[in-house]
Structure 1
Amino acid sequence: MAEGHTHFIVFANEKGGSGKSTSAVHIAVALAAAGRRVAALDMDTRQRTLARYLENRLATTRRLNVELPMPLFDTFDPAKGVPIEARLAELAAEAEIVVIDTPGRDDPDARAAISRADTLVTPINDSFIDLDLIGQVDAETYKVRRPSFYAELVWDARKARGKRDGATVDWVVLRNRLQHIEARNMKRVAQAMGELSKRVGFRIVPGLSERVIFRELFPKGLTLLDLAAIGEPGIAHIAARQELREMVSSLALPDWPARRIAAAG
């Protein structure tokens, strides 16, 4: 498929522990399960969480001789001498959707990837600690005082994208781990996030709750869509799978066949 028709989904967050790589893997596999040609690129050459997850998944298919939805995947290594722009162009020629997991730090390659995003996904835990990444909140009123450095970084990336080809970046903030937040605090976080979204221009989407199952799935590279491979699903597993379906649908990707993921898994 020509590069101009490739949709780039970039997962980016400079704070660790937000479920960024887990969310990226599940989105990539869900899209592959729906019949889309998907490529996944891990830009964190040190941790390689996304790549390791998919390597485990590939090993499971070979060990058990089963077929599982599988995106193409690779790790971006600047030492190979191929610029990030060139690598993205190569992936765009192979896939209709490219899912990118950026490292939890600011570097030129990560900024270049963000500026190529059609959909920019920033997962955050539902707390003021994580919200501080994109907006500073008053200690007394809990009102947003000003956008933070990361919101400015995204603003710069959006301007670069608009200048390059006139396209817009759909910025999505993914609220993860909702159920472990005390009710009053959760309400305050939601209010501050809603206020901030209007000021800096992002959509708020419910993400994945904190569940033990995610830690159990990683060694085998399985996702919530692979319940048949996991065994008899419990109620918690089914609820988590429904969260995934809703999260993918909320991204509002072009030509997304929602009914196909509803039948998957």
Structure 2
Amino acid sequence: MTQPQVIVVGNEKGGAGKSTLAIHIVAGLLHAGRRVAILDLDLRQRSMSHFFAHRAAWTAANGVTLPMPSEPDLGDGKALARADEAEQIATFERAFAEAQDADVILIDTPGGDTPLARAAHAKADQIVTPMNDSFVDFDMLGAVDPVTLELLKPSTYSEAVWEARKVRAIKEGRHAAIDWVVITNRLAVAEARNRKRLEERMLKLAKRVGFRVGPGLRDRVIYRELFPFGLTVADLSNEVRPVAVSLAHVAARQEMRNLMQSLGLDAATLPALDAAA
């Protein structure tokens, strides 16, 4: 049996769009015909788990069939969050073992340095780190000089990922090195001078600590308005459209394709979607 690919969506900062990115990657993989298992380690919020619960309820109520991931049981998230480290890790290991029959295991991690987040990163084949289009989020990757904006040093999180990659390469060989992709998420539509400065620093840091920079999702209402139904733009079709469809939805689907391509994942075969004029 081949081992499933493990994708970890993580950083140590909340509000960067980890769960939004995670559900879109899962939806893209499902529409590409992959068997996907999900583990939501953000034990207090469980946004990804809630999303797919909404999906199951909406499709059942509307007589629609859409692909679904499997989700090993982590139990009561809030209770697990209060448990000691040993119990948390044991629960995670059991759930991870249950997911081994999937093609891809996607793990959504909390915004912080926790035992579960560290355990998940250690298992990753690919780490996807979203960040908002801002120096506020860049601080999660590296520190810059407040006067010159020159890069000073990698952040604690960057060093932690670097260490995880080094340990993985030593343990399993160079071929098993973790692929780290930083996604600029929630991009504003208008180009800005601030973004150019940010991109320059990101490229410098990428060379220094070894990540790739990929395209993310723009700050569109579309992504948020579909969440209550458990749907993404990949799920919309001429039969599945809980909201009015416009050309913006078609553009969002192309953004999603670009995201999947940048991660080196299978291109989704999306259902036909006719936008209103």
TM over 0.5: yes
Normalising by structure 1, report the TM-score: 0.91
1:217 aligns with 2:226: yes
User: Partner residue of 1:128?
Assistant: 135
Q: Which of residues 107, 115, 119 is equivalent to 1:108? A: 115
Alignment gaps of 5+ in structure 2: none
SS at 1:5 equivalent: coil
2:19 to 11, 18, 21: 21
Residue 223 of structure 1 aligns with an amino acid whose one-letter code is: T
- Structure 1 segment 183-194 matched on structure 2, within 5 A: 183-194=192-203
Q: Taking structure 1 as reference, are residues 159 and 264 closer, same or farther at Cα in structure 2, changes over 3 Å only? A: farther
1:154 match: secondary structure: helix
Q: What does 1:179-258 correspond to in 2, within 5 Å? A: 179=188, 183-228=192-237, 229-230=240-241, 231-253=243-265, 256=266, 258=267
1:158 aligned partner? 165
Give yes or no for the alignment of 1:59 onto 2:57: yes
For the Cα contact (< 8 Å) 2:24–2:256, is it kept in 1? yes
The answer for the alignment partner of 1:87 in structure 2 is: 95
The 3 A distance-change label for structure 1 pair 12 and 195 is same
Spell out, residue by residue over 1:134-191, the C-alpha distance to the aligned partner (whole angstroms, 9 max, x if none).
1011122222110011101111211232233221100000101222576110100000
| Alignment pair present for 1:143 and 2:141 | no
How far off its partner does 1:51 sit? Answer: 0.2
Moved more, 139-148 or 29-38: 139-148
Q: Structure 1 residues 111 and 235, CA, compared in 2 at 3 Å: closer, same or farther?
A: same
- Give the superposition deviation at 1:127: 0.7
2:176 corresponds to 1:178: no
Amino acid in the other structure paired with 1:149 = T
CA offsets per residue over residues 223-253 of structure 1, 9 Å max, x none? 0112222255212111111100100111013
Q: Write the deviation string for residues 80-124 of structure 1: whole angstroms up to 9, x where unpaired.
A: 7744233212212x2010111011111122111101111100000
Q: For 1:75 and 1:19, how far apart are their aligned partners in 2?
A: 24
Tell me the C-alpha RMSD between the 2 structures: 1.9
- SS of alignment partner, residue 98 of structure 1: strand
Q: Which amino acid aligns with 2:97?
A: A
Q: Distance in 2 between matches of 1:98 and 1:204?
A: 22
* Cα deviation 1:37-71 (Å, max 9, x = unaligned): 11111011110000000100010111101001211
SS in structure 2 opposite 1:252? coil
User: Structure 1 stretches of 5 or more lacking a match?
Assistant: none
Distance between the aligned counterparts of 1:263 and 1:195, measured in 2?
A: 40
Q: What secondary structure sits across from 1:72 in the alignment?
A: coil
SS across alignment from 1:164: helix
Kindly indicate whether the alpha-carbon contact (under 8 Å) linking 1:9 and 1:117 is maintained by their aligned counterparts in 2. Answer: yes
Please say if residues 51 and 75 of structure 1, whose CA atoms lie closer than 8 Å, have aligned partners that are also in contact: no
